[in-house]
Amino acid sequence: MYLARKQISGKTHYCIRESYAEGDFIKSRDLFDLGNRPDRYIIYPGGNACYFHEDVYDQLNEKGVTFEDDELETIFWPFLKYETRRVIEGFTHRGSSRKGHDSVKEASRRCKTEKFHMFDIRRIHYLRFGQLDQSRISRVPKKIYRPLLDKSRDEIEQMFLQMENVLDADEKKNYTFVVFDIPGHFEGKLARNFPQALSQKKVDDCFVEEVCRLHSDNQFWAGMPRSDMLHEYLIRYVCWFFDNDYAQSRYLDQLVYDWMARRRDFNPPRPKPAMALADALSVMGLDEKDLAGLTVKSLTRQYRQMARKFHPDTGGGHNRFITLNQAFEDLLRKVRAKRKAPGYRTRRG
């Protein structure tokens, strides 16, 4: 049994339903209508004790439902008084029994071979990890899909109604963008990380296409009755997609950060060792007596004369020209260092 919720005239209407196997499908049926005030069926005899109205028991028994009080307690749990919940929690230690542990292990084992609908898988994955990029969805542990076991389509959708309450308003468009696999219509990492950069006209068209495909997917609905009109379980996704903007993304900031991080280990090439002074002067066609009178201007003039002589385009050799450039750079550094030596003065003082 499970608690189903439905909006009627702006109010939340509640109903007790159950999932049951019929042929190849697991279907659902209504058991007891709780209206919009389920707390009316909770009776407090005094203190923190409580029990449920006999009408609930009578109708469930009339429909031939086999159940335990713990199941009813779970259904009415959101409507119990806080103090009553606190006391019951202290006595029951929900989910901590050995039997419960064994059933979880068995369910986890079944998840490895069970076939779940991809739409449900994408929803569970996003709600668990909050990732726009689901390219590695096949690598996650299958046990996270335990909530999908042995449930009708209606019970699964009611479960997602509650799970999706954790989504903020600015997450709802991201959520629908991912779970309807809109990134699958585009190429590249941008579609899976920064949907704002895509053509929004094409994104809208792809979303409508995927909604229509899911609406007509008999495997997804698994025998659940529906009409030609879009089901209310899908209408909320359409509203979320078109009524909200994408959540703020830090994808571009992360790209810049990664680019900077990759260059922190960059080692520039080491400068070539300087030529011996005598060799540099010889290559430039100078001797040591010319060194004292060298200036940047005179050295540059000499370099241009030698470059015209040894440039490969004028009949010189490639290696010889490279050696000339190195000699010029080494001598230029010496001349500039001499100009900056202590005691040096410009013409302006």
Q: What are the tens digits of pLDDT across the range 91-129? A: 665 545 545 556 888 988 999 999 999 999 999 999 999
List Cβ neighbours of 292 (8 Å cut-off, separation of 6 or more).
Answer: none
The CA-based diameter of the chain, rounded to the nearest angstrom, is 120
Domain-embedded: residue 118: yes
Q: What is the mean pLDDT of residues 15-34?
A: 92
Distances (CA, A) of 308 to 93, 251, 252, 323: 93, 53, 50, 14
Lowest mean pLDDT among 113-117, 184-188, 194-198, 343-347: 343-347
Among 2-11, 152-161, 274-283, 295-304, the range of highest mean pLDDT: 152-161
Indicate the helix (H) or strand (E) that contains 11: strand 11-22
Q: Quick one: 252 and 136 in the same domain?
A: yes
Domain-embedded: residue 19: yes
Strand order in the sheet with 2-8: 2-8, 11-22, 25-35
By CB neighbour count within 10 A (0-12 exposed, 13-18 middle, 19+ buried), where does 65 fall?
Answer: middle
Q: Quick one: 149 and 251 in the same domain?
A: yes
Domain-embedded: residue 99: no
Residue 222 clears pLDDT 80, i.e. is over it: yes
Domain-embedded: residue 100: no
Contact predicate 123/145, CB 8 Å: no
* Residue predicted with more confidence, 227 or 270: 227
Query: How many domains does the chain divide into?
Result: 3
Residue 329 clears pLDDT 70, i.e. is over it: yes
Q: Quick one: 118 and 252 in the same domain?
A: yes
Residue 220 clears pLDDT 60, i.e. is over it: yes
Residue 79: domain span:
2-94
Confidence of residue 151 (pLDDT cuts 50, 70, 90): very high
Q: What is the CATH number of the domain that holds 327?
A: 1.10.287.110
Q: What is the mean pLDDT of residues 310-335?
A: 86
Domain-embedded: residue 153: yes
Confidence of residue 266 (pLDDT cuts 50, 70, 90): low
Q: What is the mean pLDDT of residues 161-174?
A: 92
**pLDDT above 70 as % of the chain:** 91
Q: What is the mean pLDDT of residues 165-175?
A: 91
Question: How many H helices and E strands in the chain?
Answer: 16, 5
User: 43, 66, 94: which is the final residue of a domain?
Assistant: 94
Q: Quick one: 81 and 129 in the same domain?
A: no
Q: Quick one: 132 and 9 in the same domain?
A: no
User: 256, 287, 303: which is the final residue of a domain?
Assistant: 256
In angstroms, the CA 242 to CA 255 distance is 28
Q: Quick one: 138 and 185 in the same domain?
A: yes
pLDDT at 293: 85
Q: Which residue in 271, 270, 287, 277 sits closest to 334, CA to CA?
A: 277
The pTM of the full predicted model, rounded to 2 decimals, is 0.69
pLDDT at 336: 86
Q: What is the mean pLDDT of residues 33-38?
A: 92
Q: Quick one: 59 and 134 in the same domain?
A: no
Confidence of residue 187 (pLDDT cuts 50, 70, 90): confident
Domain-embedded: residue 34: yes
Contact predicate 236/172, CB 8 Å: no
Lowest mean pLDDT among 101-105, 163-167, 234-238, 341-345: 341-345
pLDDT at 103: 82
Confidence of residue 349 (pLDDT cuts 50, 70, 90): very low
Q: Quick one: 196 and 315 in the same domain?
A: no
Q: Quick one: 242 and 314 in the same domain?
A: no
Domain-embedded: residue 304: yes
CB atoms within 10 A of CB 48: 14
Which residue's entry shows tokens 């060194």? 291
Lowest mean pLDDT among 26-30, 124-128, 195-199: 195-199
Q: Quick one: 329 and 301 in the same domain?
A: yes
Q: Quick one: 212 and 165 in the same domain?
A: yes
Confidence of residue 176 (pLDDT cuts 50, 70, 90): very high
